[in-house]
Amino acid sequence: MGIQAIFSFLVYAIINAITPGPGNLLALNTIVRVGWKKSKNLLLGIFVGYYAVQILCALLVYGLERFLNPAMTVMKYVGAAYILWLAIHIARSKPDLTGTDSKPSFWTGFILQFVNVKIYMFGITALTGYVLPFHTSLNVLLLFEIMIATIGTIATLTWAVLGGVFQRVYIKYYRFINIILAIVLMECVVSLLML
């Protein structure tokens, strides 16, 4: 695998990871709504789920190519339903000004990643487009998926930091911001169903 292919892979991975998606928007919304301390478990769930899904993608690409398309079709609808639920939840959420909201759970973040079709498509496309033409060993596929998960985790953490930075603005304009975030998620649902 040449330098040009690795560079192209990294550019693709960074751009894909930083764009808004369910995990990034949930991290942003949760941080601005309940703060860092209560969000730690949710963020950890998102990060662990990201790695688990990318490892699953490597295994799927390595050994189950013929089952990949049917599985992705099912995941598309499951993911669209979950993202729709998430959009509604974000649109209805309010900042926790009293400090009484419960901590978002690890499992919410973890499960989100298993129905987040964006990261499946991200991982599978990266492997099939950038890695498989050069390497087919499971170890190499896993290495690249770990790189994708690391880049994705950094991107989600960036969205979370932005949530912390803009928390005061969010508290003042939360209704408008939540509607915009919900609309972006609805666009994700529409795009997903159009595939």
Q: What is the mean pLDDT of each run of 10 residues along the chain (195 residues)?
A: 79 78 85 86 92 90 66 67 75 67 79 83 79 84 93 91 81 83 77 66
Provide the sign of the torsion angle of the four alpha carbons 68, 73, 76, 82, taken in this order.
negative
DSSP category for residue 136:
-
Provide the sign of the torsion angle of the four alpha carbons 139, 142, 146, 147, taken in this order.
positive
Please give the single-letter amino acid code of residue 65. Answer: E
**What's the rounded Cα separation, in Å, for the pair 145 and 105?**
25
The reported pLDDT for the residue numbered 68 is 59
Contact status, residue 21 vs residue 83, Cβ threshold 8 Å: no
Q: What pTM value is reported for the model?
A: 0.71
The reported pLDDT for the residue numbered 96 is 60
Please give the single-letter amino acid code of residue 23. Answer: G
Provide the sign of the torsion angle of the four alpha carbons 58, 59, 60, 65, taken in this order.
positive
The reported pLDDT for the residue numbered 123 is 85
Element (H, E) at 125: helix 117-126
C-alpha distance across the termini of the chain, in Å: 30
The reported pLDDT for the residue numbered 90 is 74
SS (H, E, C) 71-89: HHHHHHHHHHHHHHHHHHH
The reported pLDDT for the residue numbered 50 is 93
